[in-house]
Structure 1
């Protein structure tokens, strides 16, 4: 079988796994649908959050920004990551404490204001649409490359699959689907990084490889070389 056939098989099996997880974890109540019944372990939540960070919008978008903007683009990467940390520390615990399912509900009850609730709704919609637009564009690009289809069709396929397991499983299904996605992504990220580090520096640990000298250019570290490329960009 050629590469294209293997691609169809692997992608198909991956999404079949996601849908199977969603069906197995399908929500049986409103609480399970919105907050997974409060029974997801911290480890699973952490893996799901990490998978969300390593999404199409962040991975493709941030890589593109840094490639075109050089080191100045890393500001967006730090802001993106810092935003996740701030949300996890300053907002998520209080949503759980107040027993609310959405940010507008929490803000409205916390500040006893319907106006604050409406402002929170507008902000949530604006941020969500901005994020989803980039996410769906990334999905369309990925499907168009791997499945050899038009980007628009790729977006539709991706939306249909996400809609299916989101509706079936709710937050519980999405969380465990994200856990599976994390395992796939961390493997896909780690293998090329380790291989490139070995090829360039002879060091199998990418983090240590940054400070190691290049095999073909003794006395020049990989980090210095990358800094030079970023400056030139």
Structure 2
């Protein structure tokens, strides 16, 4: 079998696995939908966060920024990574402590202000829409190359798949899907790295090939 067939099999199995996880992670209440019943282990949360960071936006946009801007593009990598760490350390624990599901709810109750809540809603919408637009564009590009369809059709296909497990499983379905995606991404990164190192240096371990 050629490379295209193997790629088709690998991607199809991955998508079916995502849909299965979304179906198995169906939730019945708001706590399960927004915070996955607070039942996800820390290691799984870390894997899900890492997979989210290695998303289409990060993988395509940051690579493009580094390609176009050169060394200056690496600032986006540093800023994005630092932002993730700051959010995890300075905001996430207090959000959990207050028992709130969304940032606008937390900010509104924390500062006793509906105006602050509205500002937080607007900021969240702007940031989320910007992120989702880039993410869906990346998904559209991937599906357009994979299925040989227009990018617009690829975006629609990606939206349908994401909506399926997001609506059914909420944060629980998304989290476990991201955990699965983490391991798939690691394997997908290792295969070309090992192959290239083996071709160039006859050493299949990248860490040893460049020492």
The alignment's TM-score, normalised by the length of structure 1, stands at: 0.85
Alignment map for 1:1-233 (pairs within 5 Å): 3-201=3-201, 204-207=204-207, 209-210=209-210, 212=211
Deviations 1:182-218 (A, max 9, x none): 01001111222233344445555434545x3xxxxxx
Q: Which residue of 2 aligns with 1:229?
A: none
Residues 95, 101 of structure 1: 8 Å contact kept: yes
Structure 1 gaps, min length 5: 213-233
| Aligned-partner Cα distance in 1 for 2:172–2:79 | 28
CA distance in 1, matches of 2:63, 2:176: 26
Q: Which residue number in structure 2 is paired with residue 217 of structure 1?
A: none
State whether residues 18 and 177 of structure 1, in contact with CA within 8 Å, keep that contact through their aligned partners in structure 2. yes
Deviation at 1:67, TM superposition (A): 1.2
Distance 1:90-1:74 versus aligned 2 partners, 3 A rule:
same
Instruction: Tell me, yes or no, if the aligned pair for 1:7 and 1:147 is still in contact at 8 Å.
Output: no
Which of 1 and 2 has higher RCO (CA within 8 Å, sep 6+)?
Answer: 2
Q: Secondary structure at the match of 1:83?
A: helix
Cα RMSD, aligned residues only: 1.7
Structure (1 or 2) with the greater helix fraction: 2
- Greater C-alpha radius of gyration: 1
In 2, are the aligned partners of 1:33 and 1:172 still within 8 Å (CA)? yes
1:12-52 per-residue CA deviation (whole Å, 9 max, x = no partner) reads 22111111111111112110000000010001100000000
How far apart, CA to CA, are the structure 1 residues paired with 2:200 and 2:27? 48
Larger mean CA deviation between 158-167 and 13-22 belongs to 13-22
- CA shift in 2, pair 1:197/1:71, >3 Å: farther
Larger mean Cα displacement after TM superposition, 148-157 or 2-11: 2-11
Partners of 1:208 and 1:85 in 2: CA distance: 30
How many angstroms apart in 1 are the aligned matches of 2:180 and 2:80? Answer: 22
Task: Count matched residues.
Answer: 211
Name which of structure 1's ranges 64-73 and 136-145 shifts more when overlaid on structure 2.
Answer: 64-73
